[in-house]
């Protein structure tokens, strides 16, 4: 647990290292015991520069003590691993690290699910972690945790292997850089490296083409909400060799550095936290780690979730939906065809059951329980006796026209069996009605299958609200996992209810 001395040391370090904090801000503890940033008695206007962070104060693979031995990696998991090793080297140096005043104020534990089953990486109850992971089974968070790279390894497996094959040997070969400065006997461990990774995963920023992914003091003290108050400003396009924003010797082959005009100003030497909106007095000031992040992403990367997250969605793989369809290749061509999607997009916007997604194969439902346009097209094709035969766009257009007619004549409400459920005069041919029925049943089926596969075995029939209420606060991981399952089931229930209304209306007409 951090104390007031930690904040004092951090602020002293900031002063020495040219991290300049506006006096209208203060660093303090948030309600969870971690650091946060708060406004003082003065209101803050929009577009105010609130923190100026000297570029040479950030901790990166370029600036760390092991910079000569850690090759920079521009992005992805490789960049996180490289920065984790750089950070761990500074942690091992202890009070002799030039970043000690900053490092001592970082959390001693970042509770991300990646390590819930790795007992020695946490001081919390192992049972809380293992049971929470069981609850996450079948959820979007579970997919992230078990996603495998091209080498068929999960993130945790790759982290451990990289540390054993690369990280630990590198640290031991260069122990003179850190060992002589540490108080007492310090030995690198995989647990220490994983802790460094958890800090990188939850706090690092991609700042520019030179430093790349970096630990940015004070910028990482702002907590996250989607409707954020501030953002980090930096010029990414600097020289990747020296970090210069203006012209440098690396821009002209064969030209001596003395002949290059360097007009870099003082402002070019800082990253800045700038306000997006006016900030009232005496309130916490928030950044955003990404305005499209789902709770599954927030939990697996940062160790927390939002009570209500409009970005939440549920996804399916192609195999989960198609079930080895022989015409899958042709169906994929249709789904990825801009002409087909664009022809249907405008009419999709009229539906209460479908939403449009950006380019790419996204098969899922959003937080409102609406199916994605690509999932609708795929299930529509799978529901047709003609499959992906000639004229699929025209067929899908007729199908969505019929669906919109059903939606317009059906009240989508909790009053499912009331007299509001009128017989719908569809005026459609039986084959088209059958196609809509098949698609609706398919959507209901994948929703139910997802509910059965999520959470601990047998929990589908449980009232998860009661389960959550019965859990003590100390079992925070299980509580978080149950809340994730509750949220996903709510989305699935909403989606299923809408398509059951379609089934009810069409079957009454057919009957």
pLDDT digits (tens, 9 = 90+) for 13-50: 999 999 999 999 999 988 878 899 999 999 999 999 99
Note whether residue 125 is domain-resident: yes
Note whether residue 250 is domain-resident: no
Which residue(s) pair with 340 in the sheet?
Answer: none
Same domain as 199, residue 138: yes
The SS3 assignment for 207 reads coil
Same domain as 159, residue 220: yes
How far is CA 439 from each of CA 333, 337, 399, 400, 433, rounded to the nearest angstrom?
20, 21, 10, 11, 10
Compute φ and ψ for 308, nearest 5 degrees: -135, 120
How far is CA 89 from each of CA 9, 155, 179, 186, rounded to the nearest angstrom?
20, 21, 10, 11
Same domain as 122, residue 57: yes
- The pLDDT confidence band at residue 511, using thresholds 50, 70 and 90, is low
Note whether residue 238 is domain-resident: no
Same domain as 207, residue 85: yes
- Short-list 105, 303, 107, 68, CA closest to 196: 107
Distance (Å, rounded) from C-alpha 100 to C-alpha 105? 9
Same domain as 348, residue 224: no
Note whether residue 253 is domain-resident: no
For 9, the token pair is: 């040391």
Q: What digits encode the pLDDT tens for the residues 390-425?
A: 578 888 999 999 999 999 887 544 444 444 444 555
CATH of the domain at 175: 3.90.1410.10
Does the pLDDT at position 115 exceed 80? yes
Same domain as 361, residue 283: no
The answer for residues whose C-beta is within 8 angstroms of residue 330's C-beta and 6 or more apart is: 387, 388
Distance (Å, rounded) from C-alpha 190 to C-alpha 164? 8
**Count: domains in the chain:** 2
**Which pLDDT belongs to residue 265?**
54
For 286, the token pair is: 């928030």
Same domain as 279, residue 410: no
Distance (Å, rounded) from C-alpha 397 to C-alpha 335? 14
Which pTM was predicted? 0.85
Distance (Å, rounded) from C-alpha 421 to C-alpha 507? 12
Note whether residue 235 is domain-resident: no
**Which pLDDT belongs to residue 468?**
95
Q: Which residue has the higher pLDDT, 60 or 334?
A: 60
Which of 302, 324, 347 terminates a domain? The answer is 302
Which domain does 217 fall in, by range?
4-229+265-302
Q: What digits encode the pLDDT tens for the residues 441-476?
A: 999 999 999 999 999 998 988 999 999 999 999 899
Q: Torsion over CA of 468, 469, 471 and 473, rounded to 10 degrees? A: 110
Q: State the first-to-last Cα distance of the chain, in angstroms, to the nearest integer.
A: 67
Note whether residue 330 is domain-resident: yes
Same domain as 341, residue 289: no
- Short-list 30, 22, 33, CA closest to 286: 30
Note whether residue 256 is domain-resident: no
Same domain as 385, residue 298: no
Same domain as 369, residue 275: no
Distance (Å, rounded) from C-alpha 268 to C-alpha 480? 42
Q: What digits encode the pLDDT tens for the residues 116-154?
A: 987 554 556 778 889 999 999 999 999 999 988 878 899
- Short-list 366, 199, 220, CA closest to 294: 366
Same domain as 324, residue 280: no
For residues 16 and 1, the answer to whether their CB atoms sit within 8 Å is no
Note whether residue 136 is domain-resident: yes
Same domain as 506, residue 359: yes
For residues 282 and 55, the answer to whether their CB atoms sit within 8 Å is no
Does the pLDDT at position 267 exceed 90? no
Count of positions (residues) in the chain: 511
* DSSP tally for the chain: helices H, then strands E: 18, 14
């Amino acid at each position: 647990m951090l104390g007031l001395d930690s904040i004092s040391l951090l602020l002293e370090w900031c002063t020495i290292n040219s991290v300049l904090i506006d006096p209208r801000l203060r660093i303090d503890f948030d309600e969870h015991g971690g650091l946060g940033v708060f406004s003082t008695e003065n209101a803050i206007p929009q577009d105010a520069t609130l923190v100026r962070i000297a570029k040479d104060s950030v901790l990166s693979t370029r600036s760390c003590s092991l910079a000569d031995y850690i090759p920079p990696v521009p992005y992805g998991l490789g960049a996180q691993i490289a920065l984790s090793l750089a950070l761990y080297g500074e942690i091992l140096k202890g009070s002799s690290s030039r970043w000690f005043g900053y490092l001592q104020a970082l959390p001693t534990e970042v509770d991300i699910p990646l390590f819930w089953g790795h007992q020695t990486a946490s001081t919390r109850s192992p049972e809380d972690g293992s049971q929470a992971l069981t609850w996450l089974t079948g959820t979007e968070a579970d997919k992230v945790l078990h996603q495998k790279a091209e080498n068929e390894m999960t993130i945790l497996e790759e982290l451990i292997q990289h540390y054993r094959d690369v990280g630990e040997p590198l640290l031991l070969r260069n122990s003179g850089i850190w060992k002589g400065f540490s108080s007492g006997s310090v030995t690198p461990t995989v647990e220490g490296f994983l802790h460094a990774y958890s800090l990188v995963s939850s706090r690092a920023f991609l700042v520019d083409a030179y430093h790349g992914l970096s630990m940015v003091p004070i910028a990482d003290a702002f907590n996250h909400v989607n409707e954020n108050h501030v953002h980090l400003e930096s010029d990414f396009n600097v020289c990747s060799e020296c970090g210069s924003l203006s012209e440098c010797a690396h821009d002209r082959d064969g030209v001596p550095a003395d002949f290059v005009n360097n007009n870099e100003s003082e402002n070019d030497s800082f990253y800045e936290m700038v306000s997006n909106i006016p900030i009232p007095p005496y309130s916490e000031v928030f950044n955003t780690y990404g305005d499209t992040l789902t709770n599954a992403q927030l939990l697996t990367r940062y160790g927390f979730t939002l009570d209500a997250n409009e970005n939440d969605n549920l996804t399916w793989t192609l195999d989960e939906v198609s079930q080895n369809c022989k015409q899958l290749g042709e169906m994929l061509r249709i789904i990825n065809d801009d002409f087909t999607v664009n022809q249907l997009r405008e009419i999709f916007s009229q539906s209460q059951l479908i939403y449009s997604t950006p380019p790419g194969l996204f098969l899922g439902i959003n937080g409102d329980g609406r199916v994605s346009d690509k999932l609708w097209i795929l299930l529509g094709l799978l529901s047709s006796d003609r499959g992906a035969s000639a004229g699929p766009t025209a067929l899908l257009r007729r199908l969505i026209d019929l669906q919109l007619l059903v939606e317009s004549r059906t009240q989508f409400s909790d009053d499912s069996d009331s007299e509001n459920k009128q017989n719908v005069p569809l005026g459609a041919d039986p084959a088209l009605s059958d196609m809509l029925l098949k698609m609706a049943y398919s959507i209901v089926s994948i929703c139910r299958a997802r509910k059965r596969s999520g959470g601990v075995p047998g929990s589908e029939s449980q009232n998860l609200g009661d389960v959550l209420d019965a859990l003590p606060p100390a079992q925070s991981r299980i509580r978080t996992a149950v809340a994730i399952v509750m949220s996903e089931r709510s989305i699935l229930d909403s989606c299923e209810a809408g398509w059951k209304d379609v089934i009810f209306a069409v079957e009454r007409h057919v009957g």
